[in-house]
Structure formats: structure tokens, C-alpha cells
Copies of this chain bind each other. A is one copy, B any other.
Amino acid sequence: MGITLIGVEGMPLVGEGDDIAYLIIKALNEGGENLLDGDIIVIAETVVSKAEGNTIDLEGIEPSPEALDIAERTGKDPSLVEAILGESSEIIRVGHDFIVSETRHGFVCANAGIDESNVDDGLATPLPRDPDGSAERILQTLQEATGRELAVIISDTQGRPFREGAVGVAVGVAGLSPIWDRKGERDLYGRSLQTTRVAVADELAAAASLVMGQADEGVPAVIIRGYPWKHLRSAGSVKSLLRPRELDVFRD
């Protein structure tokens, strides 16, 4: 089995109101490439937020006393801290230069996923408000324009506990179920499989990140071709990647 990762090159800088699906198809066509049945399109969350006009003007923010306090403990800009608090439903850990919180969507990540890279000075991009919805809209446009059966993943680059370095993860999905549940399957020796739930959408996002790099408007979208995902074809939600709070031993 072979899988190919193809960067969508030549996309312009994305601004508010842009149609990401259209920009992807245009860039692919200009590069002599087309979408095929089964292609999975991974798109960096920054460009989705920017296209949706979902940016935060840090200069217009008045930090609360809580934000001023956390800013002092972390060395972060008080306006950015206030923006992080605004995106968060709960602060989980405050480190010496970061804040781990649960976002309003339920993601546990650093700085509520707010990105200050690849956006105009003074602005920051939070995660898309409804990443599954954004993925679904892009998927519908891509499928209508091409007649192909596709899936869309919106990705972010996030750190994690215990391991250094950030990796690509899925923050929105459409057209496929993000978890491959292999319960009941057998290994090569006929024994039950031990790891039965694989976070395929996160692995796809990590793979795409290798092509995107982090200057993610250079290559903000990646086509993953040849991954067989018929067994995952369903109306999935990224929420199935989020561990329920009561099952997570690393939450207080």
C-alpha cells in the first residue's frame, strides 16, 4: 500500500471572505493536478479562520485583572492572555511561558490555539468557531466542484504533555470518522488486538504537517492520496477525538 502527500502550492495569502475550496481547486489546476476519489484534503486552521474573518485585534483588547495576573506569571502579552481567556472555558495549567486551557470547543491545548504567526501585525487567529462546520462547508464545495468523493480535515500544530515539540493534529473533520475502532479484530497470531482505537485523523494531520511546514500559508493545504478510508466513511465529528473530562487522569 502506498500513500502520497501532495502540497497545494501557489495559493495566495488568504483574506476574509475568500473561498478556500475555490482557491485549492484553482491552485491544483494551475499546477496540473486534480482531485481524485478518496483524496483527503488537510487544511491549516489559520487560513480557515482568516477566510472566515475570525481574527482578534489584540490592540483593541482591555485585559482583565485575571489576565494581568497570568500575564505577569507567564511573561505573555496581557491582551493576548485576555484573548486566551475569552477562547477558554477552563484554565488547566499555567506554565512559565504558556497557558494550557480547555477551549470552548473542548480542545485541551496551549494558548487556546490562538496563533500569532502568518497574520498581520497586531492580529491573532483563534481556532475556527465551528471547525467541523467549516470542514463540512469546504467539503461540500470541493465535492460539488469536482464530483469526487472526498474528506476534509482542518489541522493545527499543537504541543503535548510529556513530549517535546509540536505535531499536527485534527481540529475539524468532514466526510470521515476520525477514530478507527478495531475492536473485535485479531492480530497475526489470532489474538485480540490490544490497541483498538487509532486516531487516524490526527495521524493524517501529522503527515500533512510534514508537507506544510509551519509557515503554513506557503503550503496551507495538502492532498493525501491512497489512504483507504472506506471503513471510516461516516458523518464524523472531531469531538470523538476529545477524551471526556471524567475519563482523563491528567485533569484535576
Contacts and interface: CB of A to CB of B under 8 A. Distances in A.
Contact of A163 (B93, B199, B227): B199
B165 A241 contact: yes
Interface residues of A, number: 72
Contact of A166 (B5, B187, B198, B240): B198
Interface stretch (A63-71, A135-143, A243-251): A243-251
B7 A118 contact: no
Number of copies: 2
Contacts of A2: 4-7, 211
Interface in A186-239: 187-189, 191-200, 202-204, 206-207, 209-211, 214-215, 217-219, 227
A116 B195 CA distance: 10
A124 B199 CA distance: 24
A7 B193 CA distance: 20
A182 interface: yes
A165 B179 contact: yes
Given A115-B194, A161-B248, A193-B215, A7 B13 contact: no
A195 B119 CA distance: 14
Mostly, the A contact residues are loop
Contact of A121 (B166, B191, B200): B191
Interface in A24-80: none
A160 B166 CA distance: 14
Given A5-B207, A121-B191, 12 more contacts: A1-B7, A1-B9, A1-B219, A2-B5, A5-B5, A160-B161, A161-B161, A165-B198, A166-B198, A167-B203, A188-B215, A193-B214
30 contacts: A3-B4, A5-B5, A93-B249, A95-B249, A117-B194, A118-B189, A120-B189, A121-B189, A160-B161, A161-B250, A162-B248, A163-B199, A163-B243, A164-B197, A165-B198, A165-B199, A166-B198, A167-B202, A168-B203, A182-B214, A185-B215, A187-B214, A188-B215, A188-B217, A193-B214, A195-B214, A198-B209, A202-B206, A203-B207, A250-B250
